[in-house]
Structure formats: structure tokens, C-alpha cells
Amino acid sequence: MYYVELMLNGLLIGSLYSIVALGFVLIYKASEVINFAQGEFVMFAGYVIAFWILSLNFHIVAAALLALVVMVLVGLLVEWSVLRHLIGRPVVAVIMATIGLASFLQGAAQLLFGVETRSVPLPIDDYPVFIGDLLLNRVELVAAVFAGLGFAAVGWFFVKSRYGIALRAIADDQQVSLAMGINVKTFFGIAWAIAGVVALVGGVFWGNASGVDTQLALIGLKVFPVVILGGLDSIIGALVAGLIIGLVESLAAGFLDPLVGGGTKDLTPYVLMILVLMFRPYGLFGEKIIERV
């Protein structure tokens, strides 16, 4: 029973990893930018929504909508001010720019909203849900539902909407997209804006579970095992790999921690990632680009 509970909790946490990884995948898919600042996006979103609710006493829905607007603006601003100028530069430069962005967002969030840890209050009962003998965290369940909705929305957007199809065209071939009259730069901005919105889901629920401060940005470090395992440009990969990483992490904490004395939760995703990199670098669902030297 204990292990079933462990696995279910792992899956619930994993759904949140998935949603954070989704933002990363969106940006990579559209513009091939590796966003090291995805964790900071989540943190910033957490700060923003905590600010609306706690400092200005807005209702949760109004606060979420306002935070949504702010995150869209942040995403657009980042793309317009920095990433747009780095198109066609070496990978090192782009990675460093997002690392710089991460540092910038950490400083800016603390300066704007204060340094003390705060928790995003949600109108959800603390009392756990019982399914038979299983004990599940109610907030995590709601979070998983929202993560699922987020994936559904993004999936619909990519398959059905005009903008999503344009984004897929850009991901496939930038030059041809330009020739077909797609304004590539605008769509890079749109991808960043969506990534900002997706980060909001992570920010709300992680901000509720562990509090909003700069530690929240550490969730960004969990993104890499997820996206490598799932495949960098695969949305479905982000979903599946997020769940797997959540599961593995939770089981490692349950099985291995008593043996080695704790802390395996943070290590196992990375060991798994190294193995994936060695045997299947494009991940479970990623596009196979075989380039050998």
C-alpha cells in the first residue's frame, strides 16, 4: 500500500514537472533556444501571483488573470530585448544569455516583491482525499488536473489553431516559413509568451506547496532530465517524461533513501538523464537527428 501511495504521489508531482518542462519544450520547438531560465519563469510567476493575492488582496481568479497578463508581457519582453538578437549565434551564446536571464529574474523578483518567503493561498482544503486506504494530497490532485488542462490546451493550440500550425511550420523550417509569409520573430515572441503563461501554472501550485522565494527556481533544474528523457521537441514527451521522473524520484526516495541516508531524490533524475544521453540522446519521443563525427 505504501508503495502504491508513493507511486501515485510521484505521478502527481511528475505532472507538475511536466507542465514546467512544457514551457521549455515550447520555446525549444519554436526557436531552438535552450531556456535555462524556465525555473526562474516559474518563480517569477509565483512572485507575481503572490503579490496580487497577498499584497493587494485580489480574488484568486482576478489575480490569476492579472498574473497571466504580466507573464505574457514578461515573455514578450524577454524575446524582444534579448533572444531576438541572438538568432543564428552559437549555442553557447544562447545558453549563456538564458543563464544571465535567470540571474536577472531572480534579482528583479526579489527587488520588486521583497525577499521574504510567502505562500500562495489557494481555496483548496488541506484535508487529504481518501481513495480506499490511499491518502492523496488534495492540492496536488487539483494541480495535476490543471497540468492536464494545460497540456490539452497547448495540444489543441498546436494541432488546430492557425498560430499553432505556424509555430510548427517554423519548427520544421524557418526559411520556408518566412517564404510562406509567416513573421518568424512575432511567433518567437508568441512562443515565449505561452511559456510564460505555462510557467504560471507551475508557479501557482509550487508556490502553494513549497512557498515562493528564490528556492522555487530550483525546479528549473528538474526540467533538464524531463526534457532530455522525453525528447527536446516533443510535447507528449514532456508529459510522459515528467510523470516518469516524478515516479522514479518518488520511488528512489522511498527505496534508496533508507539505504544511503537521504538525498537520492535530487540525484536519481540526473543519473537517469546521463543514461539516456548515453544510449538515446534524442529521448523517447524526440526527433532523431543523427550527427556523427
| Chain positions contacting other proteins, by CB under 8 A | 34, 82, 85-86, 89-93, 95-97, 99-108, 110-111, 115, 221, 224, 228, 232, 260-263, 266-267, 270-271, 273-274, 277-278, 281, 292-293
- Shortest CB 170 distance to other proteins, Å: 18
Least CB distance to other proteins at residue 102 (A): 7
Handedness of CA 282, 288, 289, 290 (dihedral sign): positive
Residue type, position 4, single letter: V
- CB 221 to other proteins: min, Å: 7
Residue among 103 and 215 whose Cβ is closer to other proteins: 103
DSSP letter at 37 equals: T
User: Would you tell me the crossing angle of helices 219-230 and 2-31 to the nearest 10 degrees?
Assistant: 80
Nearer to other proteins, 172 or 257 (CB): 257
**Min dist. Cβ of residue 92 to other proteins (A):** 5
SS3 237: helix
Residue closer to other proteins by CB (options 104, 146) is 104
Q: Which residue type is seen at 72? A: V
- At residue 118, φ and ψ (nearest 5 deg) are -135, 160
For residue 133, the minimal CB distance to other proteins (Å) is 34
CB of 202 vs other proteins, minimal distance in Å? 19
Three-state SS for 143? helix
Q: Is 67 helix (H, G, I), strand (E, B) or coil?
A: helix
Select 88 or 132, whichever has its Cβ closest to other proteins: 88
Contact (CB, 8 A) for 53 and 200 = no
Cβ-based nearer residue to other proteins, 102 or 120: 102
Q: Mapping DSSP to helix (H, G, I), strand (E, B) and coil, where does residue 232 land?
A: coil
Q: Which residues contact 93 (CB under 8 A, 6 or more apart)?
A: 86
Q: Which residue, 5 or 32, is less far from other proteins as judged by CB?
A: 32
